[in-house]
Amino acid sequence: MDRLQFFKAASVVLLACGLASAQTITTFSIPGAGTGAGQGTGGFGINPQGTVVGSYLDDNNVFHGFQCVSGCGSLSTITKYDAPDAGTGANQGTISFSINLFGVVVGYYIDANSVAHGFATAPPFKKFTTLNEPDAGQGAGQGTFAGNVNLGGEIAGYYIDANGVAHGFVTAPPYRTFTSYDPEGSVNTFSAIASALNTEGTVTGTYFDATGALHAYVRAADGKIDEYNVNGAGTGSGQGTSPSSIDDLGGIAGNYIDASGVNHGFLRRRFGDITTFDVSDAGTSSGQGTIPEGIDLLGEITGQYIDSNGVNHGFVRSPSGAVTDFDAPGAGTGAGQGTLPETPNMFGVITGQYIDANNVHYGFLRTP
């Protein structure tokens, strides 16, 4: 049994033990986070130890990165950081998405010229490795957007070139070479974020065709790309299939948007079998429905559903298909407010954010 196989097997045993505890939801706000509408704190990535990374938006609408440990229950568990060359203007700064078992954190920063640069760092956040895909553009809104890191330190993301076209990329330590890719028929290629790269180096994401429709892809470590569409996905602009997460066994979770603009969840297993599902209380109008965000090692899927009033709620779907919904304490109940889970770790612990009645964002951590 190699190191990776042992790691997976041990994870299943530990997860089975962890599921015996009762659900708890801890909410948190990073000191310095803004308190205006659209500002605040968001958790994005979580590793097996339960360490959470994310970003907060301050009162000046500048992004900053953070990490919190030990359940994020007190100020002493929180560390804030900024990439050295991050801009300090509105909508600039440091945005963190993913963390691996060894504490490597990946994201991107927006510089003073509004160009994006990927980064990799680790505690105590004094050293940052900048990631610039060689073909990335250097104009405002262009650059390198890193979003995922796996156990081996491989990183996946996308870059936007000088013509404003997006392409996928992967890179590995010491991050001196980059491999770019585009599925056949793509005019813009994006990888999903936080949990879209597994330990085998397989990455999943979405590409847009010339008509603006979305299609799913999964790229293996050897460069082979499989493209697919979920039955029932619409074929118009802004419709189609959009994966969000891949686990270490090759299971993929995501959503598809039908011809009426309604979201539905799907699970694609390693060899291509697809199961679709809807949370029972999900709305059935355009922009509503079921939107999976992450999948863990046992095949549990977490995400959000948008109800008929436009309010967001969290859910967890078990491998058997049973769905449990939840709301973070303090989540607002108006349209566009509510609970937005982002990523589970392999033990089913979920991080994300909620939006309160004043449209301010807060982080949360849900333990099963």
Q: Tell me: the pLDDT tens digits for 87-108? A: 999 999 999 999 999 999 999 9
Q: Identify residue 254 by its one-letter amino acid code.
A: G
User: Hey, how many other C-beta atoms are within 10 angstroms of the C-beta on 294?
Assistant: 28
User: Hey, how many other C-beta atoms are within 10 angstroms of the C-beta on 231?
Assistant: 9
Q: Which two tokens stand for residue 35?
A: 């308190």
Residue 6, C-beta contacts closer than 8 angstroms, at least 6 positions apart:
none
pLDDT, mean of residues 187-216: 98
pLDDT, mean of residues 318-339: 98
Relative to beta strand 24-28, strand 225-228 is unpaired
Q: Which two tokens stand for residue 54?
A: 């994310």
Q: Give the span between the Cα atoms of 328 and 334, in whole angstroms.
A: 14
What does the DSSP assignment read for 243-281? EEEE-TTS-EEEEEE-TTS-EEEEEE-TTS-EEEE--TT
What does the DSSP assignment read for 301-347? EEEEEE-TTS-EEEEEE-TTS-EEEE--TT---STT-EEEEEEE-TT
| pLDDT band (50, 70, 90) for residue 328 | very high
pLDDT, mean of residues 36-64: 98
Q: Identify residue 57 by its one-letter amino acid code.
A: L
Please tell me the predicted confidence (pLDDT) of residue 140. 98
Q: Give the span between the Cα atoms of 45 and 200, in whole angstroms.
A: 19
pLDDT, mean of residues 26-49: 97
pLDDT (tens digit per residue) in 108-157:
999 999 999 999 999 999 999 999 999 999 999 999 999 999 999 999 99
Residue 81 near residue 67 (C-beta atoms within 8 A)? yes
Q: Which two tokens stand for residue 177?
A: 């070479």
Residue 50 near residue 103 (C-beta atoms within 8 A)? no
Inter-residue long-range contacts of 157-162, CB under 8 Å, 24+ positions, other chains counted: 157/106, 157/108, 157/118, 157/131, 157/191, 158/189, 158/190, 158/191, 158/205, 159/133, 159/135, 160/116, 160/136, 161/135, 161/136, 161/137, 162/137, 162/138
Please tell me the predicted confidence (pLDDT) of residue 22. 64
φ/ψ of residue 17, rounded to 5: -70, -40
Model pTM score: 0.93
| pLDDT band (50, 70, 90) for residue 352 | very high
Q: Closest Cα partner for 123 from 107, 145, 99, 147?
A: 99
Relative to beta strand 252-257, strand 240-246 is antiparallel
Across the chain, mean pLDDT equals: 94
Lowest mean pLDDT among 3-12, 72-81, 174-183: 3-12
Q: What angle do CA 211, 214, 215 make, to 5 degrees?
A: 115
**Whether residue 8 has pLDDT greater than 50:** no
In the 8-state DSSP scheme, what is residue 71?
G
Tell me the sheet residues that pair with 179: 170
**Whether residue 7 has pLDDT greater than 70:** no
- Rounded to 10 degrees, the C-alpha dihedral 305/363/34/312 comes to 10
Inter-residue long-range contacts of 127-133, CB under 8 Å, 24+ positions, other chains counted: 128/83, 128/84, 129/175, 130/83, 130/85, 131/155, 131/157, 131/171, 131/175, 131/178, 133/159, 133/167, 133/169, 133/171, 133/178, 133/180
Q: Report how far apart, in Å, the C-alpha atoms of 24 and of each of 152, 280, 296, 327 are.
A: 31, 23, 18, 11
